[in-house]
Amino acid sequence: MGITLVTGASSGIGRASALAMAERGDGVILTYNGNKDGAEEAVAAIRQAGGTAVALRLDVGDSSTFPSFVDEVRDTLESVWQTDRITSLVNNAGIGGGTKFADTTEERFDDLVNVLFRGVFFLTQRLLPVLADGSAIVNVASSSARSNPIDLAGGYSAYAACKGAVIVLTRHLAVELSDRRIRVNSVSPGPTHTSISGNAFDKMAHLVPELASKTLLGRLGDPRDIGAMVAVLLSEEGQWITGQDIEVSGGYRLGV
């Protein structure tokens, strides 16, 4: 049995990824920031299905908390699973775009960069001693890094640039961590029905048919669509894949 750590698993894609790894038999450490109830629901769902999970609080936008978070991870690994290593890491936690370029203040820019890029960079660095040799990392990027999305939340320049940075970081980490046989990949979800950007998909429901019509498979993504791919990349089926970004979007903005 392996142990998967998923950031931002109190809802959406993170929760679906945590559940998918638990279904494959992994123990799961999942994190939340503000939504403790959501994290507890995710833990309960995993336990109900016969798995083991623990929820820890983590703000990926505040790297000063990372050393104490890593200590908590070590304590949890020891007390719950009697081990000192995780075997999978999913850097998923994120916030939506929602700001046009001309309106992006330095403060908003810093918030996005801290959560979406800086956090991924330094959390992964801090977790290196806890990652087992031969383990796997999946970073959650976005299709917006490659194709301009239909504007659901009000502008994506800083958001999409951070996701592009995550894709580039993924490739470089794959090279630098290969001496420990650690595989590093990213997934780029297309529009996926979660609570991102203050429930934008529900608030802007009139845009959903347009999003679906721009998707070859004709619907919005479900978090489980993404969780399934994350699980493949983390598991034995993905053992020969590293340094790649896989778009998981049902063919968003591809020929339609």
Q: Which residues are catalytic?
A: 159
- Closer to ligand NAP by Cβ: residue 83 or 224: 224
Instruction: Identify residue 34 by its one-letter amino acid code.
Output: G
Token pair in block for residue 110: 């810093």
- Closer to ligand NAP by Cβ: residue 6 or 77: 6
Instruction: Collect all residues with Cβ–Cβ distance below 8 Å to 72 and sequence separation of at least 6.
Output: 56
Burial 1-36 (b: 16+ CB within 10 A, else e): ebbbbbbbbbbbbbbbbbbbbbebebbbbbbbbebe
By CB under 6 A, name the binding residues for ligand NAP: 7-14, 32-35, 38, 58-61, 92-95, 115, 140, 142, 189, 191-192, 194-196, 223
- Closer to ligand NAP by Cβ: residue 84 or 202: 202
d(CA 195, CA 201): 7
DSSP state letter for 71 = H
d(CA 232, CA 210): 30
As measured in angstroms, the least distance from the Cβ of 193 to ligand NAP is 7
As measured in angstroms, the least distance from the Cβ of 7 to ligand NAP is 6
As measured in angstroms, the least distance from the Cβ of 74 to ligand NAP is 19
Task: Please list the alpha-helical segments (H only) found in the chain.
Answer: 12-23, 36-48, 66-76, 106-113, 119-127, 157-176, 196-203, 208-213, 223-234
As measured in angstroms, the least distance from the Cβ of 180 to ligand NAP is 25
- Closer to ligand NAP by Cβ: residue 82 or 115: 115
